[in-house]
Structure 1
Amino acid sequence: MEFFERVSNWITKLFPLWVVIFAVVAFLFPEPFKPYGSWIPWLLGIIMLGMGLTLTLDDFKLVLTRPLDILLGVLIRYFVMPGVALSVALLLRLPPELAAGLILVGCCPSGTASNVMTFLSKGDTALSVTVSSVNTFLAPLLTPIIFLFLAGKFIPIDPGGLFIDILKIVLLPIAIGIMLRMTIPNFIKKIITIIPVISVVSIIAIIAIVVGLSAAKLATVALIAFVAVILHNSLGLSLGYWIARGARMPHYKAKAIAFEVGMENSALAVALAIAHLNPVAALPGAIFSVWHNLSGSTLAGYWGARDKNTKY
């Protein structure tokens, strides 16, 4: 098991590199990846199952003990990123498919990577974990409604279908993971260290499949899609932090909110785009999966080094 843990850590640390390598391979040789489009929801289900296996009831205690912090994190998350996505789409005059895909990313809940980045930045990790969990459990209701409201002008949207799919590929696997952790805790403790690498491999596979499916169109929209994603993520991180500070949150809490707002469950956006839109609409989510890990880890490293001697 120790060997597998070392391999897991090695693969996980080089996550951005693997994403770039497999994305390039999928772009140059798309045909081998195209038949696996139907695998994307299952791969996301695996990621969400892993999230459920890492959750405990303690992760939700802050809802009762610090409700205002949690409420602020949720409100900023679901108001800022969808609005920023729409603004960026209009500013850059994105094609309808890309605009819808970017807005869908903004409407999805925060990603689990935000918890890691908050920890590395010496932020309020407990707040980050709870906000992520609450955001995820609210996603079946809020994501379809907000997406319909903001993106309905670009393309036809089936909010009922989105609701059902989020239940199936997000909440159900998470619930199964939580139940498994409660019923067989000793076994889960033995395998918990290799769960991150399973999630990483699943995300890499999702991105490679999306690139393969959209390779023909990618060359014509890649630049504008990258610019849109970078703007979306940068504004999300900045606004998340400064809105939290404006609400009188201390620095270590505001760091957590920044990552909760700026880092998305982009794999969910990819899965929903493939199921309900088209492969081109999935590109913003695929690009976001790479970029937000690069920007998030850079910001976390800066804050962590600057605040290493800070006492809270």
Structure 2
Amino acid sequence: MIRALQPGQRCEVWIASVNGQAELAYSTDDVLLEAPNWTLDGASLILNGDGKLWTLDVSGGSTAETVEVPLTGIPGLNNDHVLAPDGKDIFLSANDGHIYRAALSGGPATRITDDDGSFHFLHGVSPDGKELAYVGIEAGDFTQPGRLMTIASDGGATARIDVGPGHCDGPEYSPDGKWLYLNTESFTSAPGHAQLARITIDGSGFEQLLESDTVDWFPHLSPDGRFASYIRFPSGTEGHPADLPVEVVLVSTEDWTTPLHTWPLFGGQGTLNVNSWSPDSGRFAFVAYPISDSTKD
């Protein structure tokens, strides 16, 4: 589904630093942008919006404007996209349930996944660029739990990694390639109560990173492995819906239980779906979707 802004709603792209500061990089009431990635040169963000892919140059201050990446041969995009380690290509999830690869400069996209009866939602690319981690949902039936899956980055056979019976999402490789970080509902019987976890790429060592009363999604490690960001939904939330009060959280990977900083905002879906860390591990990006209060106008 291609999302659009509600009446009175804005899309704000923010850049937060590990010292707790945050600055507004871009704001628009025209296009609902989602899920920033950071280019390897540290100059631009990559976002989806209106089913398309966009670049946003954030090296020049508040004058940044979005520029469409001219892709062909691919349906409308959703908010699951990750750059290849070489920074030249990007892996993309489209609304037909398939994963594609394309040059970041634009041009034709190549489909990677087969028609295997599942929808494929990309989240991770291994550091060597040879493997992808994604969530598979059988027949696109969203009443069924997502499963942690991997596939070679050029396609072929898929493999499942068992993380229990609960729904999982957001699988992402650690910078050393040894772990997959994700959120999962396998630690509880409470509907929707996602918690942060990790598992080795060989399927051993499945462990919960912290136990909380909130619903925690999308853990993203900084390139140097020292920090992580994630999004915290209110207790009782099911799934990762849009348009509600949430918090973006920064932690040290040495202590997931003690936030270094938090940023409350109105958002959810689209705010922090994919890894948005800068190459120098000093900053990360997220998106807020505030709605004006007409009673105060």
Normalising to structure 2: TM-score of the pair?
0.24
Q: Which has the higher strand share?
A: 2
Q: Which has the higher helix share?
A: 1
Higher RCO structure (Cα 8 Å, ≥6 apart): 1
Normalising to structure 1: TM-score of the pair?
0.23
